[in-house]
Amino acid sequence: MLGPFLETLIGGLLTGVLYSLVALGFVLIFKASGVFNFAQGAMVLFAALTIARLSGEIDGKEVHLANFVVAAAILGVAVAFIGWYAWREYVARGAGPGERRKLQMLAAAGALVGGIAAYSYGKGAWPIWLAIAATAAIMGLLAYAIERLVLRHLVNQEGIILFMATLGIAYFLDGFGQTLWGSDIYKINLGLPKDPLFLFEGVFPGGLLVDPGELVAAAIAAGLVVVLAIFFQKTRVGRALRAVADDHAAAQSVGIPLNTIWLIVWTVSGLVALAAGLIWGAKLGVQFSISLIALKALPVLILGGFTSVPGAIVGGLIIGAGEKLSEVFLAPILVKQFDLAGGGIENWFAYMLALVFLLFRPQGLFGERIIERV
């Protein structure tokens, strides 16, 4: 009995890691701007689609040449943006070491695009690392566009207005991703080992069945969490992010530029979305339903607390493990004792758990409890 239990538990925890990754993106933006970013799921889908199309496998076929032209055009626009920004800074302040570095970065970016385009024509599909790097650049550009075109104009507005803005961004990204990359189901091939591992064969008869791909995913998530936790708690920029979340005016008064902070935080959560999209895509294939994972992150956030990085992780693990265990062990009991059909527990378990938390511990496991003075 212990063997299957542990197997289910491990499987659940590894799925939970993926929930955690999505929830992490939410937490980052919530911490730094007090906004519930509904577009996080769409960002995961967009990142996954981009990687899938650039790395080039559609139902086993290599991608058509025209797609590279599209991709190169996108990157070209990215470089043009960077160039325009560098030029503006240059004009505004006169040349200094900072400007020189920006121009050098611009040149490097141009060289990168040229290299990538040349490589594409010669080779066909992009190797996965190149696709990931290009997607990271695109997510950064996306963050810049969101800050520039949407958030900048909504400083000091109510939270609900910012939320509605992210709702708009979410539907735009869902649609735009399909306009750009099509709506087929794609695969991402990370080249991870596919053969299942059998652990502890000495202890349990037949050992424990574990998917090595999921182990890698868990390692990536753990690494991200450690870096982000330190970043938020111990560094100047981390403190600035928390400061902006607490009070816009006070943050500005100590010299924190809101626009830069928002750009940083959306870029970071874009990169977290990329990691999540990569792993989900490799595991289940890239399809529209990925953007609905966002909804699974909601109970995770309620469990862990909207402002806690460790909370997102622990919440994800609890939900992941909880729903698998309930499906495997609770369902048969319901079937046997109450003569129910017993299916679908996986779908509602997380939300019921979240509801219980809302009743008894609304700030979540790790959330800040704000005591208001009246």
Partner 1 sequence: MTTRMRSFNEVLLSVENISLSFGGVKALTDISFDIAKGEIRAIIGPNGAGKSSMLNCINGFYHPQQGAITYKGVRRSQMKPHEAAEQGIARTFQNIALFRGMSTLDNIMTGRNLRMKTGLFWQALHIGPAQREEIENRKVVERIIDFLEIQHIRKAPVGQLPYGLQKRVELGRALAAEPELLLLDEPMAGMNIEEKQDMCRFILDVNDEFGTTICLIEHDMGVVMDISDRVVVLDYGRKIGDGVPDEVRSNEAVVAAYLGVSH
Closer to partner 1 by Cβ: residue 173 or 240: 240
Q: Which stretch binds partner 1 (CB under 8 A): 58-66, 298-306, 343-351, 365-373?
A: 365-373
Two tokens at 289?
Answer: 């339903």
Cβ 239 to partner 1 shortest distance, Å = 5
- Choose, by CB under 8 A, the member of 257, 332, 343, 344 that binds partner 1: 257
Q: Write phi, then psi, for 126 (nearest 5 degrees).
A: -80, 145
By CB under 8 A, tell whether 368 contacts partner 1.
Answer: yes
By CB under 8 A, tell whether 236 contacts partner 1.
Answer: yes
Cβ 166 to partner 1 shortest distance, Å = 22
* Chain Cα centroid distance, residue 114: 28
Measuring CA to CA, which residue among 355, 317, 330, 359 is closest to residue 10?
317
Cβ 121 to partner 1 shortest distance, Å = 33
- Mention every residue, 6+ apart, whose C-beta is less than 8 A from residue 253: none
For the chain, give the number of residues: 374
Q: Which residue has 């809101």 as its token pair?
A: 258
Two tokens at 95?
Answer: 């040349």
Q: Which stretch binds partner 1 (CB under 8 A): 72-80, 107-115, 196-204, 225-233?
A: 225-233
Closer to partner 1 by Cβ: residue 250 or 292: 250
Letters for 337-356 (x = contact with partner 1 by CB under 8 A, - = none) are --------------------
Two tokens at 19?
Answer: 């929930």
Q: Which residues of 13-34 are buried (b: 16+ CB within 10 A; e: fewer)?
A: bbbbbbbbbbbbbbbbbbbbbb
By CB under 8 A, tell whether 245 contacts partner 1.
Answer: yes
Cβ 25 to partner 1 shortest distance, Å = 17
Q: How many helices (H) and strands (E) does the chain have?
A: 14, 4
- Choose, by CB under 8 A, the member of 91, 111, 250, 295 that binds partner 1: 250
- Choose, by CB under 8 A, the member of 256, 273, 297, 314 that binds partner 1: 256
Cβ 202 to partner 1 shortest distance, Å = 40
By CB under 8 A, tell whether 254 contacts partner 1.
Answer: yes
DSSP 8-class letter at 290 = G
- Mention every residue, 6+ apart, whose C-beta is less than 8 A from residue 218: 13, 14, 17
Kindly report the number of other CB atoms within 10 A of residue 168's CB atom: 12
By CB under 8 A, tell whether 264 contacts partner 1.
Answer: yes
Closer to partner 1 by Cβ: residue 61 or 236: 236
Closer to partner 1 by Cβ: residue 139 or 319: 139
Two tokens at 297?
Answer: 């992150």
Closer to partner 1 by Cβ: residue 235 or 347: 235
Q: Where are the beta strands (DSSP E) in 163-294?
A: 197-199, 208-210
Closer to partner 1 by Cβ: residue 166 or 307: 307
- Choose, by CB under 8 A, the member of 128, 307, 357, 364 that binds partner 1: 307
Q: Which residues of 312-342 are buried (b: 16+ CB within 10 A; e: fewer)?
A: bbbbbbbbbbbbbbbbbeebeeeeeeeeeee
The binding site for partner 1 (CB under 8 A) comprises: 227, 230-231, 234-240, 242-243, 245-247, 249-258, 264, 307, 368, 370-371
